[in-house]
Amino acid sequence: MAAVAARLDLDGNRIRPMTICMIGAGGFIGSHLCEKLMAETPHTVLAVDVYNDKIKHLLDLPAPATEAGQEARHQPWHGRIQFHRLNIKHDYRLEGLIKMSNLTINLAAICTPADYNTRPLDTIYSNFIDALPVVRYCSENNKRLIHFSTCEVYGKTIGSFLPKDHPLRTEPEFYVLMEDASPCIFGPLEKQRWSYACAKQLIERLIYAEGAENGLGFTIVRPFNWIGPRMDFIPGIDGPSEGVPRVLACFSNNLLRHEPLKLVDGGQSQRTFVYIKDAIEAVLLMIENPARANGQIFNVGNPNNEVTVKQLAEIMTRVYSKVSGEPPLGVPTIDVSSKEFYGEGYDDSDKRIPDMTIINKQLGWNPKTSLWDLLDSTLTYQHRTYAEAIRRAMAKPVAS
Ligand code: NAD
Ligand code: UDP
């Protein structure tokens, strides 16, 4: 058998196999990270979540019921991923799993904007209170923690408070978001949208303080709109019909159902989108380069992929037409007010451009995939996965 080359970190040191307690492993980001770790590294994952649908393909398959006495079918990474179905809100097993691991990655959160203003208590509990024991167990047991925060901690840009045509709005210091320099600007309390950002900011500050006062080895990740296959759910197919996922799944759902894409308040907000597979490369570098990642806060996004939400809708419409072979709708988008779409208390981040200096310097990471290419592969997946199910659901007679 050919010898497998040793994995080396960015400083040329050999990377030892480690055990990673990944909380929220069954979600969108977790599923891609598990896939990467299984396919390309020798590390072991203790995958913690209340669901495992998105990582089922990675777990060993049970023996078919008809073939009594057969062993379960093993994956090539057999024995390196174990699923633990537990809710971190109330489960004594969590501390044991963290103690067994070299590193904990916490991805668990309520993180869909439709929940922030309609379920602010659940949002705050999930993003702050439920994360507290994870931080405490890591700190008390001298375990490294990679905690997933959000770009939303930056809130609104400084430039957004200037008049629309003010020349300073075009100056980078008025909109580029820097980990070690930009302020966090949220709206008033009645705009409950900011419950998520505020809870994430407080847990970031707590982790930072644990690092400063108690020596916790931590890395904070601020994702900037990571998108790709398996993100969220398609309402009425693999999630509640009245559910409102994030924009990629909302627009995919509209395209699959041949209905106009809804532009909240005209779709004027700007976002930068990064392909999940590029972003996962950054997380792997953090995992395997603790000396470079500990004590750091990292923006992870693609500043080159900026669009307004309206432009995103237009590009997705064109890409979907290409991958499905169906002509675009005559009226591809409609405007809807944020109050109608999300309810009272919604507010929005105006613009999100990540500064990449720190992640570049520490990890040498850069995103690669253009918006068109990442939408092409993602919408190909959405079409292949959902088009038939949607067609059947839409053909069912509606109960009178
Ligand atoms: P996701 O909702 O797909 O995944 C979160 C997972 O956590 C889910 O599988 C959920 O079941 C699990 N979970 C939640 N509460 C739990 C609990 N009490 N016990 C056990 N499991 C629990 O979301 P995602 O997009 O994969 O995001 C992961 C993290 O990254 C979150 O912390 C989110 O705030 C952050 N983030 C993601 C993005 C992005 O672009 N996807 C942007 C900003 C921040
Ligand atoms: N949005 C929209 N139509 C939709 C869903 C979302 O116009 O069907 C907008 C939303 O108001 C926001 C942007 O798309 O301006 C991105 O929303 P997402 O839910 O992905 O999360 P965010 O980037 O705000 O955290």
Contact residues for 397 (Cβ-Cβ < 8 A; gap 6+): none
DSSP-derived secondary structure for 239-266: B-TT----HHHHHHHHHHTT-PEEEEGG
Q: Which residues sit opposite 245 in a β-bridge? A: none
Residue 182 structure tokens? 């930009």
pLDDT of res. 119: 97
pLDDT computed for residue 233 by the predictor: 98
Residue 323's nearest CA partner among 379, 248, 372 is: 379
* Banded model confidence at residue 61, pLDDT cuts 50, 70, 90: confident
Residue pLDDT, tens place only, 72-114: 678 899 999 999 999 999 999 999 999 999 999 999 999 999 9
Q: Which residue type sits at 200?
A: K
Q: Quick one: what percent of the chain has pLDDT higher than 70?
A: 96
Q: Identify the CATH assignment for 109-392 out of 3.40.605.10, 3.40.50.720, 1.10.460.10, 1.10.10.10.
A: 3.40.50.720
Instruction: Provide mean pLDDT across the span 342-349.
Output: 97
Q: Residue 43: phi, psi to the nearest 5? A: -75, 155
Instruction: Report pLDDT for 109.
Output: 98
Q: Which amino acid is at 116?
A: Y
Does 70 have pLDDT greater than 70? no
Query: What pLDDT does residue 33 have?
Result: 99
Stretch 39-44: mean pLDDT, rounded? 97
pLDDT of res. 65: 64
Q: Does the pLDDT value for residue 252 go beyond 70?
A: yes
What residues contact 361, with CB distance under 8 A and at least 6 apart? none
**CA dist 289 → 94, 118, 180, 328, 387 (Å):** 25, 39, 21, 46, 41
CB 187 within 8 A of CB 193: yes
Residues written for the chain: 400
Ligand 2 atom nearest to CA at 264: 7
User: What number is the average pLDDT over the span 387-398?
Assistant: 91
Residue with tokens 């309390």: 189
Q: Please report the pLDDT score of residue 396 as a whole number.
A: 83
- Spatial distance between the Cα atoms of 381 and 225, rounded to a whole number of angstroms: 18
- Best substitution site from 225, 307, 309 to test ligand 2's pocket, by max atoms within 8 Å of Cβ? 309
pLDDT of residue 124: 98
Structure tokens belonging to residue 191: 């705009």
pLDDT over 90 at 154, yes or no: yes
Please tell me the residue having the least CA distance from ligand 1 atom 8.
Answer: 27
- Has residue 4 got a pLDDT over 60? yes
Who lines ligand 2 at CB under 6 A?
Answer: 113, 152, 225, 246-247, 250, 262-264, 267, 269, 271, 309, 348
Q: Is 115 in the pocket of ligand 1 (CB under 6 A)?
A: no
Instruction: Please give the positions annotated as active site.
Output: 196
87 CA → ligand 1 middle, Å: 13
Q: How confident is the model at residue 381 (pLDDT cuts 50, 70, 90)?
A: very high
Span 341-352, mean pLDDT? Answer: 97
51 lines ligand 1 (CB under 6 A): yes
Does the CB atom of residue 107 touch ligand 1 within 6 A? yes
Which is the closest atom of ligand 2 to the Cα of 312? Answer: 14
Residue 261 near residue 331 (C-beta atoms within 8 A): no
Mean pLDDT of 348-352: 97
Percent of the chain with pLDDT over 90: 93
| Substitution site in 151, 156, 191, 264 for ligand 2 pocket (most atoms within 8 Å of beta carbon) | 264
Mean pLDDT within 243-270: 98
- Residue 71, pLDDT > 80, answer no
Residue to probe by mutation, ligand 1, list 21, 23, 35, 49, most atoms within 8 Å of CB: 49
With a 6 Å cutoff on the Cβ, whether 229 touches ligand 1 is no
Find how far residue 321's CA is from the centre of its chain. 26
* Residue range 363-378, pLDDT digits in tens: 999 999 999 999 999 9
Q: How far is the CA of 88 from the centre of ligand 1 (A)?
A: 13
| Residue 2 pLDDT greater than 60, yes or no | no
Mean pLDDT, the chain, whole residue set? 96
Residue nearest to atom 43 of ligand 1 (CA): 150
Q: How far is CA 105 from the centre of its chain?
A: 13
Amino acid at 363: L
Q: Is residue 400 predicted with pLDDT exceeding 60? A: no
12-24 burial, b for 16+ CB within 10 Å, e for fewer? eeeeeebebbbbb
Q: Where are the beta strands (DSSP E) in the chain?
A: 19-23, 44-49, 81-85, 103-106, 144-148, 176-177, 218-223, 226-227, 261-264, 270-272, 274-275, 296-300, 306-308, 333-336, 353-354
pLDDT band at 158 (very low <50, low <70, confident <90, very high): very high
Q: Does residue 138 carry a pLDDT above 70?
A: yes
pLDDT of 64 reads: 67
Token code pair at residue 393: 């659901």
CA angle, corner 270, sides to 255 and 256, nearest 5?
Answer: 5
- Separation CA 197–CA 348 (nearest Å): 11
Q: Give CA–CA dist 102/17, Å, rounded.
A: 10
Q: Which pLDDT value is given to residue 6?
A: 86
Find the ligand nearest to 54 CA: 1
